[in-house]
Structure 1
Amino acid sequence: MARIVKRGKGYQIRVSDGYTAKGKQNVKTMTWTPRPNMTDKQIEKELQKQAVLFEQKCQGLSESADIKFETFAKQWFKEYAEPRLRVRTVDRYKQYTARTYTAIGSLRLDKITPRHIQSFINNLQEPGINQKVGEKEPPKGLSPGTVRNYLSFISTVFDYAIRMNMLKDNPCSRVVLPPRNYKQRDCYTLEEAQKFLKFLQFESLMYRVFFTLAIYGGFRKGELLGLEWKDIDFDSCVVSVNRTSLYSKSKGGIFTDTTKTKGSLRSLKLPVSVFDLLRQYKVQQAQDRLKMGDRWIDTDRLFTAENGKPLGNSTPLKWLDDFFERTGLRKVTIHSFRHLNASLLINAGVDIKTVSATLGHSQVSTTLNIYAHTFAQAQAKASEAVADALKLDDKKQA
């Protein structure tokens, strides 16, 4: 918006015209002097008109739009991403820079067309691009989700350029993406989960608590590692999720962050049996703290290393892999216990909004997309139950 300043007999009109490649604001000015004998009302009206006209004149593109994509993207990381986005999001975007810079990094920002980006997106899907495949597996392209993440990174950089008045259009808006691939989530059956819990009874108390909460609460790994004793309400049997514990090399290791979304801030009421286990564990941790004495670092975390520091993010997975080797149980990921929780809720007939809130999803549509197959199976069972009931009534009538 134009700024008007009185200067002697005239007025100076100042308009911001975006930013230079170095992040410095461009300011353009003009001076308007009213004609003699103009009334105050006429001056005010004409002054506003001149300000609007000058502002419209300044809406042209910034000269800094000739900057190369790689150069501008690095500025975007420094000026926008690192101060405003979540650490894990920034780390993920940085993983996409190598391929992106190779493809379009040397092109001028204002010369990149939808065709340039479409060619890059198509290339990401070609067999052999994905390096994370086994030796015996056929060559693969990147997954549809990963391809979408690449485009999201590029598009976000262009959005920032538009906000800086360097461009008027985002070429990513016309790129065609591969269809989403919502796979059926691999998790234990009810019988497998019961067997897992049976074997778990003979393990260390900390991991009994960790995986019991994972199954009964459907918590994410970072949410479990971020739990503190003040989040445990023993009187009402409620566990509250208020933070997440994550790992980032750029942050120097383990750090505490906000939850994934606002919807992830939630409180869940869990069975009394789960809280009986939590009580045992709290007593044991207190005893461990006394043994360590001054070497104990008080963090209030439920899951800690021997000295009280937050448990490493990869430690539960290493323990789980060893557990599978010792017991012979089918291997699954820690996140699969979250899917197990969702499946049990859905098959129990819990409504979609409650399932979504329990999992901490920001939107119900997210839950529907992820668990579409499970909902379909539950609906089919419900339909079969109705059909069986009607057949039974028919027999009675006959």
Structure 2
Amino acid sequence: MATFRKRETKNGFTYDIQVKVKDRSQNKTVTKTMSWRSEYPMTEKQAERECARVAEKFEEDIKRMFTSSLPDIPDYNVTVAEMAEKWLERVQHDFSVGYYEIGVGAVAWMNRYIGGYKIREVTPYIIQDFFDKLDSERYTTYTVTAKPAFKEVLERSGISYNKFRTQYKLNTCSLVHLIGGKSVSMEYASCMAKVLRVDINKIFKIEKTVRPYAAATIARVKRATRCIFAMAKRQRLVEDNFASADYVSYGRKPKRNIKYLDDQQAKELFGVIMEYDDIRAKTAIMLALMTGLRRGELAGLEWKDIDFVLHTLSVNRTGCYSKTTRGIYTKEPKTEGSIRKITISELLTEQLKEYKVWYDAQRENWGDQWENSDRLFVQETGKPINPSTIHFWLKKMLKKADLSDVTLHSLRHTNITLQIAAGVPLTTVAGRAGHSRVSTTSDIYSHFIRTSDEAAATAIEDIFIPRAVQEG
């Protein structure tokens, strides 16, 4: 039976509740305790009656915990932060490095708001308040450029570039950017103003912008919170998952804006690709545009995945990069459907053949220093590249083509939308894209499917009533 005793604190009376229960797995009696204090003004008798109710509930929960089949029963007084750490351990064991690192960031954000609560104390109201505050959070960015006075102050200082770099540890590339009219970070500008011993506002123009966080960033924090409380529910630490949509509102899901190149822009980029000097960049971006492969899939390609006779390409792995833990590493593709074999055009096959000749020459030149990774896209010595390198190549080509700065994933969207516009069956489009379900493709590209559907209706009408007859 639960027992409790009253003790006086500076905030009033607090009750220490104790429950003893038989742990049959270890054949011994275990004592569990908790503290309770009313959040509302109560008389002593009212407080004791409420404490008795809380103690009874505590005893039921403890008994339920120790009749569970779970081999590892966590402390009943575990906090949200401690539960989050246990969840991260599970994520690290069961999921990819990338997913774990996203989880670490999401948990750090969550802990700022509710990490100190005991998991059993958290109510739907607390979680909803946390979610609402997340939605309203903003961050500030600064665009810092040099005023005309900067060059004058810089010249009067007499400080050489070498001294900026060696004595003051200031990057001289950023200094060149400033002189050339480009922006630098607020941190760099502050250090420069301190070195020059002048007020920062005298030599720099500072534009402040307040922005909301990306919807995807906020969604990741909410999703992690839901997963942590789901784990707590499975371990019988809470009655239910109060972070689920049954109890709290997640807000309206923002409309997904797909950035892509239209057919004319795609042709302009293709023209630049065909004339590009760097054969590695040329081949990688041509592959991205003509196959719709994801960035990691491009980085994970190996020569054994290319069949020059049958004109096919197989996706079997993903190249990844972890800044904080593993560096460049390899993992399985995103989903089971992402493992696929697709047909490639004769033009692309010929480009790959040409690239293979260059690749083999590079390997021969480096000799024993060459690291034989068999990857298509490698560093100078044959080591696998960081996937972000491919995006860097794309940016240079976009600039040369005078096109807007889109991401590498935009080329994937471009490839898929061009297929839909060309009337390629949706099942084929989904298969080439590596979507596990056709519904994934139709959900993401519904706008383009509707446009294609309208064109199909017009085409059918033209079959029965030619346009010339309609106009006549």
Counterpart CA distance in 2 for 1:397 and 1:366 is 40
**Gap runs ≥5 in structure 2:** 1-22, 29-62, 144-205
Counterpart CA distance in 2 for 1:397 and 1:321 is 47
Partner of 1:283: 357
Query: Is the CA contact 1:184–1:373 (under 8 Å) kept in the aligned structure 2?
Result: no
Equivalences, count: 349
Percent identity over the alignment is: 29
Are residues 265 and 77 of structure 1, via their aligned partners in 2, closer, same or farther at CA, if it must alter by over 3 Å?
Answer: same
Partner of 1:17: none
Q: Is the counterpart of residue 200 in structure 1 residue 210 in structure 2?
A: no
Counterpart CA distance in 2 for 1:104 and 1:276 is 58
Q: Is the counterpart of residue 129 in structure 1 residue 138 in structure 2?
A: yes
Which shows bigger deviation, 289-298 or 352-361?
Answer: 352-361
For 2:364, the aligned partner's letter is L
Matches within 5 A, 1:13-162: 27=25, 58=67, 64-78=75-89, 80-126=90-136, 128-131=137-140, 139-162=210-233
For 2:225, the aligned partner's letter is I
Deviations 1:266-302 (A, max 9, x none): 1101111111111111111001111111111100000
Counterpart CA distance in 2 for 1:359 and 1:104 is 40
Q: Is the counterpart of residue 335 in structure 1 residue 409 in structure 2?
A: yes
Which shows bigger deviation, 96-105 or 166-175?
Answer: 166-175
**Gap runs ≥5 in structure 1:** 1-24, 31-53
Q: Secondary structure of 1:267's match?
A: strand
Are residues 256 and 393 of structure 1, via their aligned partners in 2, closer, same or farther at CA, if it must alter by over 3 Å?
Answer: closer
Partner of 1:185: 258
User: In the TM superposition, what is the alpha-carbon distance from 1:377 to its structure 2 partner?
Assistant: 1.7
Counterpart CA distance in 1 for 2:400 and 2:425 is 38
Q: Secondary structure of 1:298's match?
A: coil
Which shows bigger deviation, 88-97 or 223-232?
Answer: 88-97
Partner of 2:422: 348
Partner of 1:216: 290
Counterpart CA distance in 1 for 2:24 and 2:450 is 56
User: In the TM superposition, what is the alpha-carbon distance from 1:116 to its structure 2 partner?
Assistant: 1.2
User: In the TM superposition, what is the alpha-carbon distance from 1:393 to its structure 2 partner?
Assistant: 7.7
User: In the TM superposition, what is the alpha-carbon distance from 1:59 to its structure 2 partner?
Assistant: 5.0
Q: Is the counterpart of residue 373 in structure 1 residue 461 in structure 2?
A: no
Partner of 2:11: none
Counterpart CA distance in 2 for 1:102 and 1:271 is 52
Query: Is the CA contact 1:246–1:255 (under 8 Å) kept in the aligned structure 2?
Result: yes
Counterpart CA distance in 2 for 1:291 and 1:63 is 59
Counterpart CA distance in 1 for 2:24 and 2:285 is 56
User: In the TM superposition, what is the alpha-carbon distance from 1:29 to its structure 2 partner?
Assistant: 5.5
Counterpart CA distance in 2 for 1:150 and 1:247 is 22
Counterpart CA distance in 1 for 2:241 and 2:368 is 58
Partner of 2:155: none
From 300, 303, 306, give the equivalent of 1:232: 306
Runs of 4+ in 1 over 6 A off after TM superposition: 54-57, 60-63, 132-138
User: In the TM superposition, what is the alpha-carbon distance from 1:327 to its structure 2 partner?
Assistant: 3.7
Q: Is the counterpart of residue 303 in structure 1 residue 377 in structure 2?
A: yes
Partner of 2:203: none
